[in-house]
Amino acid sequence: MARPVLALVRRRRPDLQIAYTFFSPSAEAFARGVGADFADYLPFDTMGDADRALDALRPTVLVFSKLDVWPLLVARARARGVRLGLISATLSADSSRGSAFARLVLADAYAALDAVGAIDVEDGARLVALGARADRLAVTGDTRYDQVWAKARGVDRRSPLLAPLASERPTLVAGSTWPADEGPVLAAWRIVRVQVARARFIMAPHEPAPEHLRAIEEWAARERLTCRRLSAPGGTAPGGTALCDADVLLVDRVGVLADLYALASVAYVGGGFHAAGLHSVIEPAAFGVPVLFGPRHHASRDARLLLAAGGGFSAASAQDLAARILALLAAPDERETAGRRARAVVEAELGAAERSAALVERLLATS
């Protein structure tokens, strides 16, 4: 959410010093490529740590993204006259931040924000209920759409990653899958292969640990499917078999999934068969690919938009998944229509990065 805004602000204001902080270890590698002058972990939200961070960085403007507004950091920054903002702000209807206790803890922090850019009207209303001031809130959209759109438009199908994998075979790309997804997805694929023997399967587990990959390889062996790992040197698996000819291609590295959706006839996005949350359904949608996901998608605004547009489909079981995949593979015109509708959802949401960058610039201008 921050990257496209940082890029715009950097281009327009090269004089600025930009610091990017994060809290999750999963963001550490991402932070190295975000283009900031300084990037590091944000300390715990204590008064002493907040003061030390502010002493070190001396920010003019402090902007949060999505929902991670830290109460003590906000209070200490406010006391120093730092302008405060929140971009791509979201608050789902079932968020724990909507509880009475959370409102008690967070209300002052949200009220202190000088500008809030919500992803849509409904999220904006919930943020106001949490404490944000209505006169400082605007609907600016979700900057992730700009990010995935730019990524999809920039993919080179002749790249060393994609060129060896090019194939005319019908292809399902299953991304960010968990074991809870893989049970129904693998069972569905068994049904699909009976009717579409040429179909191939590219699976990118969310956590490509060796033992996880071996379990999928063992499944493929039982099903008498050729299974290869993406890391095979030179695009060729042991024995001289080209990776593009494998029935199942296992993605054993991270950071490439968004590009691999370019190969998909149909995409499945993981997370919808457990409670941890659905992964990014808009990445394949940006390529104009119909998107399938499991039944636990109700907290995902992106999934709701795709369902309403006819570019995404939910399946509650292996049988449902197989039926939907087979229907899309058997009807190229319908598949293309669903893909266009998925891409149109992404296109309709573009411009959030521009609006969010303008919000940041206004904060800078009034600091």
- Position 29 scores a pLDDT of 82
Same domain, 341 and 355: no
- Count Cβ neighbours within 10 Å for each residue of 212-238 and write b for 16 or more, e otherwise: bbeebbebbeeeebebbbbebeeeebe
Same domain, 119 and 196: no
Same domain, 186 and 304: yes
- Position 367 scores a pLDDT of 79
In-domain check, residue 149: no
Residue ranges, the chain, pLDDT below 70: 233-241
- Position 239 scores a pLDDT of 53
- Position 241 scores a pLDDT of 62
User: What is the number of domains present in the chain?
Assistant: 2
- Position 236 scores a pLDDT of 53
- Position 232 scores a pLDDT of 75
Same domain, 126 and 163: no
In-domain check, residue 148: no
Same domain, 85 and 7: yes
Same domain, 182 and 111: no
Same domain, 187 and 324: yes
Same domain, 112 and 166: no
- Position 234 scores a pLDDT of 53
- Position 96 scores a pLDDT of 82
- Position 40 scores a pLDDT of 94
Distances 164 to 91, 157, 159, 254 between C-alpha atoms, Å: 42, 10, 9, 18
C-alpha 303/C-alpha 339 separation (Å) is 14
In-domain check, residue 237: yes
Q: What is the pTM of this model?
A: 0.90
Q: What is the domain extent for residue 240?
A: 158-348
pLDDT tens readout for residues 30-66: 888 888 999 999 999 999 999 999 999 999 999 999 9
CATH number of the domain bearing residue 335? 3.40.50.2000
In-domain check, residue 152: no
Same domain, 68 and 31: yes
Backbone angles phi, psi at 118, to 5 degrees: -85, 155
CATH number of the domain bearing residue 32? 3.40.50.11720
Same domain, 191 and 317: yes
pLDDT tens readout for residues 112-154: 999 999 999 999 999 999 999 999 999 999 999 999 999 999 9
In-domain check, residue 153: no
- Position 16 scores a pLDDT of 95
In-domain check, residue 84: yes
C-alpha 79/C-alpha 16 separation (Å) is 22
DSSP assigned state of 243: G
In-domain check, residue 75: yes
Residues with Cβ within 8 Å of residue 117, at least 6 apart in sequence: 85, 86, 87, 88, 89, 137, 138, 139, 140, 141, 352, 355, 356, 359
Same domain, 112 and 221: no
C-alpha 293/C-alpha 289 separation (Å) is 13
DSSP assigned state of 200: E
Same domain, 278 and 250: yes
The residue type found at 143 is T
In-domain check, residue 110: yes
